[in-house]
Amino acid sequence: MIVGTAGHVDHGKTALVRALTGVDTDRLQEEKARGMTIDLGFAYLPAPNGDVIGFIDVPGHERFVHTMLAGASGIDFVLLVIAADDGIMPQTREHLAIIDLLGIRRGAVVLAKSDLIAPARRAAVQADIRAALADTALAEADIMPTSAVSGDGIDDLRHFLFEEASRFAGRATSGRFRLAVDRCFTLHGVGTVVTGTVLSGSVGVGDHLVVSPSGLAARVRSIHAQNRLAERGRAGDRCALNLAGDGIGKEAIGRGDIILDPELHAPTDRIDARLRVLPGEPRPIGQWFPVRLHHAAAEVGARIVLLSDEPVRPGGVAKVQLVLDNPIAAAAGDPYVVRDTSAQRTIGGGRLIDLRAPSRKRRTPERLIQIEAYAVPDPEAAVTALLDTPPHYLDLGSFARDRALGSDETQRLVDSLGLVCIPVRKTLFVLSPARWMQFRLGLAANLKTFHADNPDLPGIGMERLRLQLDPRLPAPMFAAALRMLARAGKLALDGAWVRLPGHEVRLTPQDETLWLQIERLIGGSTRYHPPRVRDIADMLAKPETEIRRILKLTGRIGKVYEVAHDHFFLRPALAGIVEIVDDLTAAEPGGRFNAAQFRDRAGSGRKVAIQILEFLDRHGVTLRRGDLRLVNRYRRDLFRSAADTEPAPAEASGGASSPVGRPDFKSGFSHPAPSRQIPANP
């Protein structure tokens, strides 16, 4: 159990910790000279049952409330210290408000210096304290008179803490590891050491971690947990980690950083949150209100963006968006506190809800419903609520990461809710069973109707089909879902076309005979520079109109594409051309190639090469950047046949791209990760 002090300056917090533990937490020369705590202090008290109680002593002066917040975020039990001769003072009230905002529910009030007042006065002070505690988390807390000078009440308080520690269940050690750094220093012969409270998960010697938000990679060389050498540190422990790695040093790591599992490294600077404004705030909180945000041990400038038309009045509660000056490493559900920009007063605080808040359409009715779903504390209930609200799908990997859930916890969510998983590269999208059934039935009905209305077409285009279905999935997820259904035999993928397995378009016997003759002429060695319509007509002694009719007809079926006027290419030839530009992209630095390189590889003349490249540009297979081009990975499969696109393992995992149009950038999918030593998880 971690015990933290709170209270007004010079009310005896440090003296109390020294009386309880024998440790003077004022370690700085300036603190000893001024007789006032300036920075966080730490001490430990062995309990009779073998456990160790950790103490965090915080400064009480109004100028050091930011330091108090850095320490208070990691405590399990608070000792609100009030000097009997002073009673309730300004920082007493502010610290009490902060305790409430941080959600610290366990604690006691220590009436320090109780030997300085008469028993009658002591009763009056206790009555004032009880009134001040009303409507706070400590409303029912014990009030314990003590004197650090005479020792009165110290033994009783110590035994009281032992009993509280024995009843304390500890923080859940499930989830991925996070430690909030409050100190970083270098020890001679040891190296870089960081200290802080483990917020979630556990860590062992030899584990690889990341310093977030900077992205520095580190390895754990040794661990001290609760002031003892240990092989592992767990949630709730005060830990000192000896770290090693390139760039790791006391200059590179500071208070406010989070040491975490690499899977959690995804800093954010825009967060939807619940805000409670303190009743004593002098004015309502308006749009883009500037504040200092305190999260864990971090402090950063921010602005409050309202998600409603009304300002948040003193004592009010609202959903808001926090736009930060710099990114932080956080988890959904973490508490935070906001203070004014001059650091004179605490304004309010609450809980973080969604770490991937949008910058646009943040106040739409659909988005506000979604925020309510994200705000549900229980992961299983939150996933259920999110899948019941538009857009009815969820990036489960991001959801689990932002809640610091472990892989076992994530798998339990999938199993308990029966989620339908659709992997797309490194992203795991999920649907509820009901929505998946709705999607499948709608898909089958749309295909059946399309074939009935268009019997001479090979199928419907993927993007057109996607836009007709509910739920409307993002393009990469939609393509992966189609591949899943194709492997199950529920539909067939034929390049850009989607069809039912039994649907097939056939030519008449006469047209089939002529088509086979044309196919031989435009295939084989001439496939990358086939003859034009007039040349084919001369070769076969047929009218140009007849040749053009057959090629237009087979184009509708999907056998050929008209790259330029009267210049038709077989679909397999175009698939081969895409492989050529793929190879050129892979071989060139920066993944870009020019027309001359393509001409030489394809063996076409310059005019034909340019026509082919412009055709690929129009279909989105290549993206032109000046005189150079690069491949659009989302359109690579456009000309592949159904046999080529269904069974590949990479596609089964969502690894291959599909001809379904541009990625769904509104969902955040495919956004590039910021450049760091360890890239942030998308």
Task: Give the pair of three-digit tokens for residue 221.
Answer: 């060389």
pLDDT, position 40? 78
The whole-angstrom separation of Cα 107 and Cα 341 is: 30
- Phi/psi at 466 (5° precision): -60, -40
Per-residue DSSP letter, 39: S
pLDDT digits (tens, 9 = 90+) for 22-33: 888 766 565 555
On the question of pLDDT at 406 being above 60, the answer is: yes
Does the pLDDT at position 468 exceed 80? yes
**Residue 647 confidence (pLDDT):** 37
User: For all residues of the chain together, what is the average pLDDT?
Assistant: 87
Would you give the distance in Å from CA 593 to the centre of its chain? 35
8 A C-beta contact, residue 395 and residue 419: no
Looking at per-residue pLDDT, the higher value among 565 and 88 belongs to 565
463 has a pLDDT exceeding 60? yes
Domain map (residue ranges) of the chain: 2-167, 178-264, 268-366, 509-639
CB 521 within 8 A of CB 513: no
Query: For residues 268 and 257, what is the distance between their CA atoms, to the nearest angstrom?
Result: 13
Q: What percent of the chain has pLDDT over 90?
A: 58
CA dist 577 and 588 (Å) reads: 17
By mean pLDDT, which of 475-479, 488-492, 506-510, 616-620 is the weakest?
Answer: 506-510
How many Å apart are CA 146 and CA 148, to the nearest integer? 7
Q: Which CATH class is domain 178-264?
A: mainly beta
**Chain segment 280-316, per-residue pLDDT in tens:** 899 999 999 999 999 998 999 999 999 999 999 999 9
Q: Which amino acid is at 605?
A: G
* Look-up of token digits 């009056």: 124
Assign 22 to helix, strand or coil.
coil
pLDDT of the residue at 497? 85
- Please compute Rg for the chain using Cα positions: 33
Q: In which region does residue 151 sit, left (phi positive, over 0), alpha (psi from -120 to 50) or beta (all else)?
A: left
- Look at residue 426 in the predicted model and tell me its pLDDT: 85
Amino acid symbol at 127: A
Contact 328, 300 (CB under 8 A): yes
Predicted local confidence at residue 183, as pLDDT: 86
CATH number of the domain located at residue range(s) 509-639 in this protein = 1.10.10.10
366 three-class SS? helix
pLDDT for the residue 659? 31
pTM score over 0.85: no
pLDDT at 671 over 90: no
The distance from CA 131 to its chain's CA centroid, rounded to whole angstroms, is: 42
Q: Tell whether the model's pLDDT for residue 481 goes beyond 60.
A: yes
pLDDT reported for residue 61: 58
pLDDT at 518: 94
User: Hey, CA dihedral for 480, 486, 491, 496, is it positive or negative?
Assistant: positive
674 confidence band (pLDDT: 50, 70, 90) = very low
Question: What type of residue is 506?
Answer: R
Is the per-residue pLDDT at 675 higher than 70? no
Q: How many CB atoms lie within 10 A of CB 535?
A: 16
Under CATH, which architecture does the 268-366 domain have? Beta Barrel (2.40)
Beta pairing, strands 238-244 & 216-225: antiparallel
> Is 60 exceeded by the pLDDT of residue 36?
no
Kindly tell me the burial class for residue 390, based on how many C-beta atoms sit within 10 Å of its own C-beta (0-12, 13-18, 19 or more).
Answer: middle
CATH number of 2-167: 3.40.50.300
52: tokens are: 């160790």
pLDDT at 47: 86
Confidence of residue 429 (pLDDT cuts 50, 70, 90): very high
Question: Any idea which of 113-117, 211-215, 337-341, 347-351 has the lowest mean pLDDT?
Answer: 113-117
Q: Which two tokens stand for residue 208?
A: 């690889």
pLDDT of residue 653 exceeding 70: no
Residue 420's DSSP bridge partners are 431
The pairing of strands 593-594 and 628-631 is antiparallel
As a whole number of angstroms, the distance between CA 680 and CA 682 comes to 6
pLDDT for res 665: 28
Question: Per the omega criterion (within 30 degrees of 0), is the bond before 423 cis?
Answer: no
For the ranges 37-41, 102-106, 430-434, 677-681, which has the lowest average pLDDT?
677-681
Tell whether the model's pLDDT for residue 596 goes beyond 50: yes
Query: Among 261-275, 352-366, 473-487, 546-560, which stretch is predicted with the lowest mean pLDDT?
Result: 546-560
Closest to 629 in 3D by CA, of 674, 660, 602, 593: 593
User: Which residues, other chains included, contact 133 with Cβ-Cβ below 8 Å and sequence gap of 6+?
Assistant: 96, 109, 139, 141
Average pLDDT of span 140-165? 90
Q: Is the pLDDT of residue 615 over 60?
A: yes
Backbone angles phi, psi at 290, to 5 degrees: -80, 140
Q: Is the pLDDT of residue 666 over 50?
A: no
CA nearest neighbour of 246 among 208, 204, 216: 216
**Across the chain, which distance is largest between two alpha carbons, in Å?**
121
Q: How far is CA 583 from CA 170, 547, 593, 646, in A?
A: 56, 34, 10, 22
Q: Which residues contact 163 (CB under 8 A, 6 or more apart)?
A: none
Q: Fold identical between 268-366 and 509-639?
A: no
Pairwise CA distance, residues 94 & 193, whole Å: 32
pLDDT at 643 over 70: no
Label residue 169 by pLDDT band (50, 70, 90).
confident
Query: What residues contact 14, with CB distance under 8 A and at least 6 apart?
Result: 5, 24, 25, 26, 37, 41, 57
Pairing of strands 268-277, 258-260: unpaired
C-alpha to C-alpha distance for 391 and 590, rounded to whole angstroms: 36
